[in-house]
Amino acid sequence: MSPEIQERSDTGQIPVAERPATTPAPRPQTWVLKVIMAVTGSVFVMFVLFHLAGNLKVYLPDDPQGHFNEYAHWLRSLLNPLLPGSTFLWAFRATLILCLCLHVYSGFTLWLRAHRLRGRHARKVHATKHHLTGRTMLWSGLIILAFIVFHLLDLTVGRVVASKEFTSTDPYSNLIHSFERPQVAVFYVAVMVVIAFHLSHGIWSIVNDFGATSHRVRSVFLFLADLIALVVVIGNASIPIAVLMGGITL
């Protein structure tokens, strides 16, 4: 029992429950974890959209290589000369890593709680979209987590899974060389579908976890959730497909 409720019971304002709560109060509280999920999730939604904008530079008609590499360089030297070197980049990375840790910790804790408190019973459920995406959030999340590691090794660090031609000075050619490997391209496309599932349910959850009860806000975000998911999957997954089909070349 929480101190708050204990206190009220002791003063006799409400009768003490006949069978008081048998489980200890969960810490951190469930609603706090949900808000953490929503805040960090919002950061990732924003990140994914900006990341998409950068990726789409490969489709610029003249000199996509120049534009893409210029953008990549700009990211590394952002806020120069106010901040020296890659200070901003590292602060940005640190924020993302912190958000990722909080998101994974909260998500996993909530999943464990849900698993424990539903009891050992099978549920017969309606075949709704939210059912498909909502109940697979942990699994889509784990796939995305594995993908983040793969993606960083492939195109940022250039180790283990990266293409033989990896160079730290030409991100555009790294991208082309990586996606010219069919199995890697297929993997990227598949993961984008998983990310779309995660985004679609995640954005709808953010709206609920921030407590939006207005009919208009809920309708708009229910639509936006699917729209953003669709834009992300089409925008990103088209790049490896275009590389494989020879639409984007060095």
Partner 1 sequence: MRLILEVWRQDGPDAHGSFETHEITDATPEMSLLELLDRLNHQLVDNDQEPVAFESDCREGICGTCGLDVNGVPHGPEDNVPACGQHVRSFRDGQTVRFTPFRAKAFPVVRDLIVDRTGLDRIIQAGGTISVDAGTAPDADTLLVTHDDAERALDFAACIGCGACVSACPNGAAYLFTGAKLSHLALIPHGKEERAKRARTMITQMQHEFGPCSQIGECALACPAEIPLVAIAAVNRERLRAGFKKGKAN
Q: Is residue 99 within 8 Å of residue 47, measured between CB atoms?
A: no
Q: Which is nearer to partner 1, 36 or 248 (CB)?
A: 36
Q: Residues interacting with partner 1, by CB under 8 A? A: 1-2, 4-5, 8, 13-15, 17-23, 25-26, 29-31, 33-35, 110, 113-114, 116-119, 121-126, 128, 130-131, 134-135, 137, 201, 204-205, 207-213, 215, 218
| Nearest distance in Å: CB 228, partner 1 | 16
| Nearest distance in Å: CB 49, partner 1 | 21
| Nearest distance in Å: CB 26, partner 1 | 5
Q: Is residue 55 within 8 Å of residue 235, measured between CB atoms?
A: yes
Q: Which is nearer to partner 1, 114 or 145 (CB)?
A: 114
| Nearest distance in Å: CB 4, partner 1 | 6
| Nearest distance in Å: CB 163, partner 1 | 39
Residues 6 or more apart in contact with residue 205 via CB below 8 angstroms: 34, 37, 38, 41, 134
| Nearest distance in Å: CB 232, partner 1 | 20
Q: Which is nearer to partner 1, 126 or 164 (CB)?
A: 126
At residue 53, what is the residue type? Answer: A
C-alpha angle with apex 35: 31 to 39, nearest 5 degrees? Answer: 175
Single out the residue of 147, 139, 135, 134 nearest to residue 202, CA to CA: 134
Q: Which is nearer to partner 1, 30 or 42 (CB)?
A: 30
Residues 6 or more apart in contact with residue 77 via CB below 8 angstroms: 85, 86
Q: Which is nearer to partner 1, 22 or 169 (CB)?
A: 22
Q: Which is nearer to partner 1, 13 or 169 (CB)?
A: 13
**Cα–Cα distance measured from residue 67 to residue 61, given in angstroms and rounded to the nearest whole number:** 10
With b meaning 16 or more CB within 10 Å and e meaning fewer, what string describes 38-62? bbbbbbbbeebeeebeebebbeeee
